[in-house]
């Protein structure tokens, strides 16, 4: 669908909403390959570990680092919305041509040309050298949604009186543009994951 000359994501590609139906969101993810999975499987060791994990899923024990990330996602999403007009997103989105290619970016602009991804970290990052696993995750999200760029925002955590707190008043951020060469490599990874775990591509 096009609106004012911009390519928009067709409604049928919004598969499940994490906030509305978390169980349904989890189930919908099982029918394809997600940004986190593709990023994890992009190396030989990562691919091996991912296949083992997907074939025999194990519960992940919650911890303080994960809780801090969850607690910060909402405030950072509002900061992104206020400064960059990228709306918070909870929708699992499928690729236009392959419904098994999936992603849930943390934010999506109203014209669907930009997304956002939010992270928390115990170590500050150089805006010119965001960790490769997160750049891969972002590129897959850009590919699935068809967006052109991603606002990548991160908040440093600090520990005070045994509790994790934000180390900064506002998060840091950097724009990440599409990288077609990386996207091509990740598409091959996704097909290998689908073949190894789902039995098809």
Distance in angstroms (rounded) separating the CA atoms of residues 2 and 85: 19
- Render pLDDT for 162-183 as a digit per residue (tens, 0 to 9): 889 989 999 999 999 999 999 9
Straight-line distance from the first to the last Cα atom of the chain, in angstroms, rounded to the nearest whole number: 26
Report the C-alpha dihedral over residues 148, 134, 105, 57, rounded to 10 degrees: 140
Q: Which of 73, 57, 63 is nearest to 105 (CA)?
A: 73
Q: What percent of the chain clears pLDDT 70, i.e. is strictly above it?
A: 95
- Quote the Cα angle for 150-17-65, to 5°: 65
Which CATH number belongs to the domain containing residue 138 in this structure? 3.90.320.10
As for how many domains the chain has, the answer is 1
Provide the whole-model pTM.
Answer: 0.91
Provide, for the chain, the percentages of residues in helix, strand and coil under a 3-state DSSP scheme, each rounded to the nearest 5. 40, 25, 35
4 pLDDT above the threshold of 80: no
- For residue range 77-106, what is the model confidence (pLDDT) as tens digits? 999 999 999 999 999 999 999 999 999 999
Cα torsion 45, 151, 168, 121 to 10°: value is -10
Cα(160)–Cα(14) distance, rounded to whole angstroms? Answer: 40
At residue 5 the predicted structure's pLDDT band, cuts being 50, 70 and 90, is very low
Q: pLDDT at residue 2 above 70?
A: no
Range of the domain at 70: 2-198
Mean pLDDT of 41-65: 87
Structure tokens at 72: 């910060």
Query: Could you please report the per-residue DSSP string of 153-166?
Result: EEEEEEEETTEEEE
Q: Which pLDDT score is estimated for 184?
A: 97
Contact in structure between 93 and 14 (CB atoms under 8 Å): yes
Paired tokens of 132: 């490769």
Q: What is the DSSP string of 2-32?
A: EETTEE---GGGEEEETTT-HHHHHHHHTTS
Q: Which of 63-67, 146-150, 163-167 has the lowest mean pLDDT?
A: 63-67
């Amino acid at each position: 669908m096009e609106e004012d000359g911009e390519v928009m994501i067709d409604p049928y590609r919004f598969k499940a909403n994490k906030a509305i139906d978390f169980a349904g969101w989890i189930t919908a993810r099982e029918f394809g390959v997600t940004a986190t999975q593709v990023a994890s499987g992009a190396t030989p060791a990562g691919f091996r570990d991912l296949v083992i994990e997907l074939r025999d899923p194990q519960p992940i024990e919650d911890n303080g680092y994960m809780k801090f990330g969850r607690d910060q996602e909402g405030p950072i999403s509002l900061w992104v919305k206020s400064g960059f007009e990228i709306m918070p997103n909870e929708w699992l989105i499928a690729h236009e041509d392959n419904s098994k290619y999936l992603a849930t970016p943390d934010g999506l602009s109203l014209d669907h040309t930009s997304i956002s991804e939010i992270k928390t970290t115990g170590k500050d990052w150089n805006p010119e050298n965001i960790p490769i696993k997160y750049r891969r995750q972002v590129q897959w999200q850009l590919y699935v949604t068809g967006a052109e760029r991603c606002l990548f925002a991160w908040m440093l955590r600090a520990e005070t009186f045994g509790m994790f707190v934000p180390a900064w008043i506002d998060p840091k951020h950097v724009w990440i543009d599409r990288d077609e060469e990386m996207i091509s490599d990740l598409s091959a990874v996704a097909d290998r994951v689908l073949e190894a775990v789902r039995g098809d591509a």
